[in-house]
Structure 1
Amino acid sequence: MKSILARYVSRVVSKAVLITILVIIGFSFIAEVIDELNDIQQGYAFLDVLIHAVLHVPTQTFEFLPSAVLIGCLSGLGLLAKNSELTVMRASGISTQKIFWYVIKPILLVMLMALLLIEYIAPSSLQLADQRKAQLQSGEPVSISAESVWALGQNEMIYIRRVEATGALSDVLLFRYDDEKKLTAYLHAQEGHFIDGDGDGDGDLEYLYNELDHSAERNKIAWILSNVSETRIIRGQIAPVYTPESYPSLIQHQHETLVWQTRITPEMIDLMTMEVTYLSLSQLLDYARYLAVQGMDDRAHWLMFWDKVLQPFVCLGMVFVGMVFVLGPMRSVSITFRIFAGILVGFSVRVLQEVTGQLGLVYLWSPFLSVLLPILAVYIVGLLMLRKK
């Protein structure tokens, strides 16, 4: 009997959540189309606008999921309450916790699908939409890579003026320094290409070794730099009074090709050139860790990472609030009012997430806590309402 009730409650709630998601995404799709109508021009027609809006659907689905879960739970549970089915269940000995579990089961599946969506579909779909729009409007192939990239390696700083769509580097500047942060060498290369291997089979290749670590073995990550101009700085002995012999001397070399070994991989350069919104969860994690290791500001990337990872807990909080709305002090109000209240709660939670996230960046809060605070607020509000039952 209980298994039949569990399937029935799960089916009613899952249908309500699915319908709510479709309605919200429908409105969002229409809004996206209206917003894109202003950009229609030669080469970018109305059909392209529709395709652009469709490609934005996966990202919008993930963003609106907590609100859709709340409104769907309110609708489904409200329908059960209107037909006195919840009253009969509780009168027959089924606890509120058991009903909560009946509701949670389909939501867990929805949350799993949402995580798969934001990891494998939404980032590439959003990237394709923006790249396709730029290409159609310009009439030429467009690469979304940034025009310039700064990166840190081991005792070196790299500036790449342009990353081509093929992954090749153009106009590379490399600054090398010692442990005291004094500049020891400066290189300029017109091009750079990644090689998969250490090049031991190519005896003619000239290697750029890290002079600060002669014992380091050749690693597998290497780039071939072409048309390289190298300037080395040789510093004289430290003396109380500078003499011509104590001034740094410059030694210049020209290389047709030079092998540059570094920890910076093509995948890492891809992450540096991509907008944060295009990154999947795994890419966000890799890039945030890279920034942390290099001592760079990684808070914005951790903030977005935790915002996506903790999204399922926001959905669970919304289910909890929805249960309180139906079984708590608001059980006597109409279902229309409950849905309206759910929309307000969902909107308020999203605004609170944005506010705490930006405040965290300004006041140097932990990104994890900045994301966690609004989620805790959802559960606290639910508990306070439950106490008034």
Structure 2
Amino acid sequence: MHKLNRYIGRTVAAAILLVLLVIVGIDILSSLIDELKEIRGDYTFVSVLQYVGLVAPGSLYKYLPFAALVGCLAGLGSLASSSELVVMRAAGVSTAKLVMAVVRPTLFITLIGLFVAEYVAPAAQQIAESQRAIALQKSTSSHSRHGMWHRESDAFMHFNAVQPNGVLYGVSIYRFDDQQRLVQSTYAERANYLGGSWMLEDVRQVDFSEQRAEQQFFPQRDWESDLSPELLNVLVLDPEDLSISGLWRYASYLNKQGLNAGDYELAFWNKLLQPVTILGMVFVAISFIFGPLRDVTMGFRIFVGVMVGIVFRTLQDILGPSSLVYGFDPIYASVCPIIICFAVGGLLMMKRT
């Protein structure tokens, strides 16, 4: 039985990895084509290649559920087409044992993907975004259209580029009063995080009153903010590119500031529950192989897998924004598609038995 488990595991794992390689390769090619449009000045073709290479690890965990579904359909389908599954069943191997033989390699691949998504991809993505933003800033002007916005209390901030070591470039800070009137505008070429506080460099500050605007220049100036380099490491990335711990930390920070953290909470639950999502996809694939797809061609199995993956992704894309619009807990938007997967798989397996 151990040899049989290893054989099934190798077949399924190889199919999953092959599908994942193809999907990630297509994603890398698409990103490369998109980034070629941004080439100018210091942002050269070599910079584009570096950027695409650094953001590639983030695609692994993102596409893993889809790869697990199609890979299991392809791997188990090849065993079914050669009648090997029939022989295994005739030899007394139960469906439960076959399911476990498929789940084990899938869990192993999922754990590797989770490690990459938690520790490798966010750091690589941040370095890529930082290098890209700095290169594009030098290619345009100090007030780059690239970068990110952030709000803290009555202040709205924009950073052209954020480096992982606690260095900011192109810092703009706009403060408003209770009547939403602009009272102060500050721009600094650079900011450093030293000794638990921020130091602005080459500062230009404009104070607004009802009668006039007063402009001042400072070579250096302290900046009080609850932002830390760790939080900025989160801010520079989109929610779906962050680690699970980073999403939780930044969502807690936003809630503390009285700001809406719905996007980050939704991304947190989606990433945290993704291993369960992958198991649900595998369960659906197994139920298809032992059920309605046991006698069809490989091409049709892959087609069905792609369609199921698209339907699952569409359901996530609908429920996720709906939770933000209608105010229900984002965890329900993450759990509902998973429950549907297991329900569909269970019904098909019950019909088979």
Question: Per the shorter chain, which TM-score range?
Answer: 0.7 to 0.9
Q: Is the 8 A contact 2:130 2:161 kept in 1?
A: no
Query: Distance between the aligned counterparts of 1:133 and 1:261, measured in 2?
Result: 27
- Identify the residue that residue 217 of structure 1 maps to in structure 2: none
Distance across 2 between alignment mates of 1:286 and 1:311: 19
Partner of 1:237: none
* CA deviation after TM superposition for structure 1 residue 43, in Å: 4.8
1:315 aligns with 2:275: no
Shift in alpha-carbon separation, 1:223–1:131, aligned structure 2, 3 A = closer
Q: Aligned-pair distance for 1:132? A: 3.4
Change (3 A) 1:265 1:145: farther
- Aligned counterparts of 2:186 and 2:253: Cα–Cα separation in 1: 24
Match of 2:342 in 1: 379
Kindly provide the amino acid, as one letter, of the partner of residue 52 in structure 1.
Answer: Y
- 2-side partners of 1:75 and 1:94: how far apart? 21
Structure 1 length normalisation: TM-score?
0.71
Give the secondary structure class of the aligned counterpart of 2:151: strand
**Matching residue of 2:76:** 77
Q: Is the 8 A contact 2:99 2:286 kept in 1?
A: yes
Match of 2:216 in 1: none
Identity of matched residues, %: 35
Q: Deviation of residue 46 (structure 1)?
A: 4.4
Do structure 1's residue 297 and structure 2's residue 260 form an aligned pair? yes
- Within 5 A, what are the aligned runs for 1:11-30? 11-30=10-29
- Structure 1 residue aligned with 2:97: 98
1:66 aligns with 2:29: no
More helix, by proportion? 2
Native 8 Å contact 1:66 1:314 kept in 2: yes
Aligned residue in 1 for 2:32: 33
1:160-199 to 2 correspondences below 5 Å: 160=157, 166-167=167-168, 194=193, 196=195
Corresponding residue number in structure 1 for 2:213: none
Q: Could you tell me how far 1:72 is from its partner in structure 2?
A: 1.0
**Residue 312 (structure 2) aligns with:** 349
Secondary structure, in 3 states, of the residue corresponding to 1:388? Answer: helix
Cα distance in 1 for partners of 2:36, 2:125 equals 18
* Match in the other structure for 1:244: none
Q: Please say if residues 145 and 274 of structure 1, whose CA atoms lie closer than 8 Å, have aligned partners that are also in contact.
A: no
Separation in 2 of the partners of 1:332 and 1:16?
19
Instruction: Return closer, same or farther for 1:139/1:102 CA change in 2, 3 Å cut-off.
Output: same
**Residue matched to 2:211:** none
In the alignment, the residues of structure 2 paired with residue 139 and residue 308 of structure 1 have an alpha-carbon distance, to the nearest angstrom, of: 35
**Partner Cα distance (1:168, 1:33) in 2:** 26
Return closer, same or farther for 1:87/1:144 CA change in 2, 3 Å cut-off: farther
Whether the aligned pair in 1 keeps the contact of 2:320 and 2:334 (CA below 8 Å) is yes
Gaps of 5+ in 1: 197-220, 230-256
| Correspondence for 1:330 | 293
Gap change, CA 1:195 and 1:3, over 3 Å in 2:
same
Q: Gapped runs of 5+ residues in structure 2?
A: 206-219
Residues 275 and 324 of structure 1, relative CA distance in 2, 3 Å threshold: closer
Match of 1:268 among 231, 234, 239: 231
Aligned partner of 1:232 in structure 2 is none
**Which residue of structure 2 aligns with residue 129 of structure 1?**
128
Paired residues of 2:155 and 2:174 also in contact (CA < 8 A): yes
Shift of 1:24: 1.8
Does residue 1:111 correspond to 2:110, yes or no? Answer: yes
Measure, in 1, the Cα distance between the counterparts of 2:192 and 2:40: 38
- Using the alignment, how far apart are the partners of 1:339 and 1:129 within structure 2? 34
Match of 1:200 in 2: none
Query: Does the CA contact (< 8 Å) of 2:126 and 2:233 recur in 1?
Result: no
Shift in CA distance, 35/261, structure 1 to aligned 2, threshold 3 Å: closer
- Supply the AA of the counterpart residue of 1:15: A
- Paired residue type of 1:67: F
Give the length in aligned residue pairs: 330
Q: In structure 2, how many angstroms separate the alpha carbons of the residues matched to 1:140 and 1:111?
A: 40
**Which stretch shows the higher mean deviation, 290-299 or 69-78?**
290-299
